[in-house]
């Protein structure tokens, strides 16, 4: 019988850090009792058990009670919201191989309720799983009081030991996810239980706002009781019970066709402030539709309730339809304040000749994004100044992209040894090697058209770009394994600061073997394979920056260093998002919340079944409501 490496966290008594962790009969012992003992004993300063009497007397508990509600009291519960995804997810795991796909946000990141939540309309923190929290005077220990009624979607209570479990999982090599292994090893110093609902997390370094770093998700112990060295395969299609409003039930999975999220019955937070008017539809169905034009036609027919219309093709050309003229489908533009998607072309330095700086500089000048924006996007978006755009004071304002310039591109290519052109016009070096590289990209929307335009313009400089359009799941798998040369992708950025370690630190590029050779580290976000000994210590300093001023200084330095390496070529960005929705999908009167990246990620929308019936009846009768376009620009230029 295979032996599990984790089960009930308090399955045995052991002395830790001078305090005693007593057996807890609520959780049956598993085969892992001795492994658990050994693990805890190996970290006596990290896992600690104390009593309420050990809590500091001068703590100032906060609860975010003065912050406004997130969501609209007019919101209605019920109905099915129909959306789509380009490809079926490669896994339902939240970590490990293939877990970093785009659908993870839909079924986990945007759904999960952690200890606290950053308010999405004003500055401040609001309760999540924790009803209250307090920060120590040195700002290194954060104390939490859990909501006593918080449960997972399967009804099992959330308890302090589940946060202990998070560390065991994330520190384990079995998850095959170096980013989590590193983050949980370096960013935390201790976790301490005081009673069944009170605990603290200690971080090793002073931070500008420690709540960004000490806000953890729990890991349900009962779900991970079979956690062992075959975790990626064993848990490939297992969906963890969630603390959020939605779960994926077995009948909600139709392999290759759709995934449906079901609202949790009697969800623990359904009546709590900042949650009660959000997460409103009973079901969210994601159909797999690989072609955007097909998806738009399904939207027009009412099979989908919503469509992102940022691309001019959909905002202008395909909007010339009676469904929009008559107001059955409404459109909106919302200006938000959020770090921009880091959309651009990333160069893999482990693939020659991309290890040559002059080649990379030449490529930067050989890519005509200006023409892409003018023609393919009809001038709507702006050229992104850097792939770190949208982080406010932490974005270096001096950075700007290298413009398309045939002469400069040729100069750099010549300097790199590609001085001559072959009979086909492509540059070659003295060994006869052609300056030919493959650009990998998702096979969705206008991406192939954009890539072909970039290819056509690059030919003017003697650079040949092979265009490889892949299913998004295939693309991210290839990138995760670092098998690409160049990729045109967008990384979802998150506040408050740019993350340099996961994208540019040597640890996420190469691992030195005992014989001195280097081996590629897969399944990390360092897709440029940057490994710079002069850059690594600055990245390490940025991770522990104690003040906003120091954080800004280090961010600017690192952004300049990334720019100098010419490995991340900025694409395009917009301060708004544009969308269309059937009239029965409603949003709050202000459109959405300020700190939203896309229309749906705040879950403040709802379905009005009465309006749906009215709309469908009007459509049958040929009645028009008139065209509706709403522009929400209250946060423009902020």
What is the distance between the alpha carbons of residues 475 and 497, in angstroms, rounded to a whole number?
27
Q: Give alpha helix (H) positions in 251-373.
A: 292-300, 312-315, 322-325, 357-366, 369-371
Across the beta sheet with 576-582, the strand order is 306-308, 576-582, 329-335, 629-632
Task: Note whether 50 and 194 are within 8 A (CB).
Answer: yes
So what's the pLDDT on residue 32? 55
Banded model confidence at residue 1, pLDDT cuts 50, 70, 90: very low
pLDDT higher than threshold 80 for residue 38: no
Q: Identify the bridge partners of residue 198 per DSSP, sorted by sequence position.
A: 145, 195
Long-range contacts of 400-403 (CB under 8 A, 24+ apart): 401/364, 401/369, 401/569, 401/570, 402/361, 402/364, 402/365, 402/566, 402/569, 403/365, 403/370
C-beta separation of 387 from 528 below 8 A: no
pLDDT at 594 over 50: yes
CA angle, residues 40, 45, 46, in degrees to nearest 5: 65
Tokens (6 digits) for 453: 């335009």
What is the separation, in whole angstroms, between the first and last Cα of the chain? Answer: 59
Mean pLDDT, the chain, rounded, equals 91
Is there a contact between 367 and 403 (Cβ–Cβ < 8 Å)? no
Instruction: Provide the 10 A C-beta neighbour count for residue 155.
Output: 11
Q: Could you tell me which of 285, 275, 281, 224 has the C-alpha nearest to residue 249?
A: 285
Contact 194, 51 (CB under 8 A): yes
**562 token code pair:** 């990334």
**DSSP symbols for 367-393:** --HHHIIIIISTT-SEE-S-TTTT-GG
pLDDT for 450-461, tens place per residue?
A: 999 999 999 999
The span from the CA of 526 to the CA of 504, in Å, is: 5
Q: What pLDDT was estimated at residue 105?
A: 85
Q: What is the CA radius of gyration of the chain?
A: 26
Alpha-carbon span 161 to 44, nearest angstrom: 16
404: closest CA among 435, 370, 374?
A: 370
* pLDDT band (50, 70, 90) for residue 340: confident
Query: Cα torsion at 141, 176, 505, 362 (round to 10°)?
Result: -150
Q: How many CB atoms lie within 10 A of CB 258?
A: 17
Percent of the chain with pLDDT over 90: 83
Contact 161, 198 (CB under 8 A): no
CA–CA distance, 40 with 636 (Å, rounded to integer): 51
Question: What is the pLDDT confidence band of residue 493, given thresholds at 50, 70 and 90?
Answer: confident
In angstroms, the CA 21 to CA 104 distance is 35
For residue 470, pLDDT over 70 is answered with yes
Q: How many residues does the chain have?
A: 638
Tens-place pLDDT, residues 384-442: 999 999 899 999 999 999 999 999 999 999 999 999 999 999 999 999 999 999 999 99
**pLDDT 10s digits, 258-279:** 999 999 999 999 999 999 999 9
468 confidence band (pLDDT: 50, 70, 90): very high
* Residue 570 parent element (H or E): strand 568-570
Burial 23-50 (b: 16+ CB within 10 A, else e): eeeebeebebeebbeebbeebeebbbbb
Instruction: Using alpha carbons, select from 260, 329, 330 the residue that is nearest to residue 301.
Output: 329
Question: pLDDT at residue 354 above 70?
Answer: yes
Q: What pLDDT score does 33 carry?
A: 53
Confidence (pLDDT) at 37: 59
Query: Per-residue pLDDT averaged across 328-344, rounded?
Result: 94
Confidence of residue 4 (pLDDT cuts 50, 70, 90): very low
Beta-carbon count within 10 A of 148 CB: 11
């Amino acid at each position: 019988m295979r032996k599990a490496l984790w089960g009930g966290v308090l399955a045995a008594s052991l002395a830790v850090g001078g305090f005693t962790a007593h057996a807890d009969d609520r959780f049956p012992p598993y085969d892992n009792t001795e492994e658990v003992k050994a693990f805890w004993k190996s970290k006596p300063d990290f896992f600690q058990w104390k009593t309420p009497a050990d809590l500091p007397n001068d703590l100032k508990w906060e609860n975010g009670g003065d912050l406004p509600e997130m969501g609209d009291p007019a919101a209605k519960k019920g109905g099915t919201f129909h959306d789509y995804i380009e490809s079926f997810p490669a896994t339902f795991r939240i970590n490990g191989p293939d877990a970093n796909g785009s659908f993870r946000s839909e079924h986990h990141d945007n759904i999960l309720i952690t200890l606290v939540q950053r308010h999405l309309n004003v500055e401040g923190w609001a309760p999540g799983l924790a009803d209250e929290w307090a920060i120590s005077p040195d700002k290194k220990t954060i104390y939490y009081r859990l909501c006593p009624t918080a449960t997972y979607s399967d009804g099992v209570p959330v308890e302090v030991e589940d946060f202990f479990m998070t560390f065991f999982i994330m520190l384990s090599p079995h998850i095959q996810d170096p980013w989590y292994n590193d983050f949980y090893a370096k960013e935390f110093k201790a976790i301490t239980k005081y009673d069944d609902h009170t605990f603290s997390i200690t971080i090793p370094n002073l931070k500008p706002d420690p709540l960004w770093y000490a806000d953890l998700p729990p890991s349900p112990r009962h779900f991970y009781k079979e956690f062992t060295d075959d975790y990626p395969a064993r848990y490939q299609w297992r969906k963890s019970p969630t603390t959020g409003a939605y779960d994926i039930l077995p009948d909600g999975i139709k392999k290759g066709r759709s995934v449906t999220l079901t609202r949790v019955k009697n969800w623990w937070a359904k009546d709590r402030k900042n949650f009660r008017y959000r997460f409103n539809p009973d079901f969210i169905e994601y159909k797999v539709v690989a072609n955007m034009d097909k998806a738009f036609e399904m939207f027009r027919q009412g099979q989908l309730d919503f469509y992102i219309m940022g691309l001019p093709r959909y905002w202008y050309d395909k909007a010339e339809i009676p469904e929009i003229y008559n107001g059955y489908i409404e459109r909106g533009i919302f200006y938000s304040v959020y770090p921009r998607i880091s959309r651009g072309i990333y160069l893999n330095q482990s693939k020659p000749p991309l290890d040559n700086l002059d080649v990379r500089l030449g490529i930067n000048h050989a890519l005509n994004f200006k023409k892409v924006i003018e023609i393919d996007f009809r001038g709507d978006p702006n050229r992104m100044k850097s792939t770190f755009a949208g982080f406010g004071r932490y974005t270096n304002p001096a950075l700007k992209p290298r413009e398309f310039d045939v002469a400069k591109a040729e100069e750099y290519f010549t300097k790199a040894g590609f001085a001559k052109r072959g009979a086909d016009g492509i540059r070659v070096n003295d060994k006869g090697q052609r300056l030919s590289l493959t650009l990998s990209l998702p096979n969705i929307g206008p991406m192939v058209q954009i890539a072909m335009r970039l290819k056509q313009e690059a030919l003017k400089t003697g650079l040949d770009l092979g265009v490889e359009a892949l299913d998004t799941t295939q693309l991210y798998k290839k990138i995760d394994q670092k098998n690409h040369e160049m990729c045109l992708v967008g990384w979802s950025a998150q506040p408050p600061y740019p993350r340099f370690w996961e994208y540019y630190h040597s640890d996420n590029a190469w691992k030195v073997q005992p014989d001195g050779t280097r081996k590629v580290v897969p399944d990390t976000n360092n897709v440029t394979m940057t490994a710079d000994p002069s850059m690594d210590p600055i990245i390490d300093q940025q991770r522990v920056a104690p003040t906003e001023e120091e954080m800004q200084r280090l961010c600017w330095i690192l952004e300049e260093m990334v720019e100098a390496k010419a490995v991340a070529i900025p694409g395009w960005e917009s301060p708004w998002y544009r969308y269309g929705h059937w009239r029965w999908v409603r949003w709050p009167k202000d459109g959405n919340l300020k700190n939203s990246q896309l229309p749906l990620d705040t879950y403040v929308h709802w379905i009005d079944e009465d309006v749906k019936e009215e709309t469908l009846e009007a459509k049958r009768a040929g009645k028009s409501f008139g065209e509706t376009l709403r522009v929400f620009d209250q946060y423009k230029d902020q």
